[in-house]
Amino acid sequence: MPEKFRKTLLNRQFSPIITSVKIVTGVLPLIALLAPTAWAQGGSLDVTVNTGATSSSAATRGVAAPSLTVAKAPQTKSLPPIPKKTTPSRGSLSSRSGRPQDQPQSAPASVTVRPAKVAVDSLAIRSTRIASSKVLSTATRGQTLAVISEMDDLYGVLMVNNTIGWVPKDAMELLDYNTEITLASTPSEPKTTTSSGLADRSGLTERQRQVLREAFSYMGVPYVWAGNTRSGLDCSAFTKNVFSTIGVDLPRHSGHQIQVGRTITDTGNLIAGDRLYFAMKGGSTITHTGIYIGEGFFIHASSNHKCVDVDPLFKSYVNKLVAIRRD
């Protein structure tokens, strides 16, 4: 059979098969493009767990895929979300609250206070959790701040005006003390007490909580001899001002203050809110005063720390303690 005739015959026999292959080959890309849509309409691939770098089917369709990331829960419910912008402009408003992002947040009415010592030479207390936010105050090594909340690697500390400042956790050393106090009441508001006089769930009476609330609000106020305001004050003025908020009128000088209140003779009977009087120079002449806050600590306007601070009573101060008074 001539070669030319043989090739013509073969082409006629296999041309349908070759044509079918071409058709199938051309259709496959079309099927690949239409398949995701068809499957999505059927619902079988509605949620795809994405374990690699490629997008899930839901993301491909422009639908937000369910998040499977477990986020660390904040320690306090009252804190706003951390702003996404790390360098906000001063005076710009947050998206939800309308509060300027550099303006510190108000502390909640009821807080658990835990004192912590500053462990670095100089510590900036910032208005928000953003590292570039404005500095509200600067604390020095050994100064005590009242920690009232925490989030991620930051502590929220109580400021004098009942707002929250923020400091790094690794710059602080927590003391083994905590107590719950209420910040809502102010000297202009009526003082409320329970008719039964029972302690609240933290073990403090309403009267004790008011004393501690006021005392902790002075944390960090500078020590100024003969001073009598929140701009600066000494130990006796601090004690006098704190107790005036619960209607106890104390004399200006610590040596005269022991004439007011019930005498407590055993340190084993101390309770939060007791007034402490010390003879720091020896003998019996009273030269210093503070307020017991419980668990072995007291708060005072300290000339050593140069501000209102918290110290352990039973380390170096108890040997100078000469009087305890309770109101």
For 152-178, write each residue's pLDDT tens digit. 999 999 988 888 999 999 999 999 888
- Which pLDDT belongs to residue 136? 93
What's phi and psi for 283, nearest 5 deg?
75, -145
Tokens of 281: 């120079």
CA 211 from chain centre, in angstroms, equals: 23
Rounded to 5°, angle at Cα 239 from 236 and 241: 105
pLDDT band at 79 (very low <50, low <70, confident <90, very high): very low
Rounded mean pLDDT, 101-120? 87
Collapse the DSSP code of 262 into the 3-class scheme (helix H, G, I; strand E, B; otherwise coil) and give the result: strand
Which among 181, 184, 190, 182 is positioned nearest to 247, based on CA atoms? 190
Tokens of 270: 């101390």
Partners of residue 285 on adjacent β-strands: none
Q: Which of 253, 256, 300, 305 is catalytic?
A: 300
- CATH homologous superfamily for 222-326? endopeptidase domain like (from Nostoc punctiforme) (3.90.1720.10)
- Which pLDDT belongs to residue 15? 52
Mean pLDDT is lowest, of 93-107, 110-124, 159-173, for 93-107
- Which pLDDT belongs to residue 110? 81
Rounded mean pLDDT, 105-121? 89
- Which pLDDT belongs to residue 48? 23
CA distance 112 to 60: 47
Domain assignments of the chain as residue spans, ordered by start: 110-175, 222-326
Rounded mean pLDDT, 271-289? 95
Which among 156, 205, 151, 209 is positioned nearest to 180, based on CA atoms? 209
Rounded mean pLDDT, 20-39? 40
Examine the residue annotation and report whether 288 is marked as an active-site residue of this protein.
yes
- Which pLDDT belongs to residue 102? 75
Higher pLDDT, 105 or 88: 105
Rounded to 5°, angle at Cα 252 from 248 and 256: 85
- CATH homologous superfamily for 110-175? SH3 Domains (2.30.30.40)
Rounded mean pLDDT, 38-65? 30
Q: Which of 235, 253, 305, 307 is catalytic?
A: 235
Q: Which of 256, 288, 305, 307 is catalytic?
A: 288
Partners of residue 139 on adjacent β-strands: 123
Per-residue pLDDT at 327 exceeds 70: yes
Higher pLDDT, 45 or 104: 104
E strand intervals along the chain: 110-118, 122-126, 135-140, 144-151, 154-158, 164-168, 172-174, 179-182, 228-229, 232-233, 262-263, 275-278, 288-294, 297-302, 307-312, 321-326
Structural contact between residues 299 and 243, judged by C-beta atoms closer than 8 angstroms: no
Per-residue pLDDT at 303 exceeds 50: yes
Rounded mean pLDDT, 90-100? 41
Tokens of 94: 């947050």
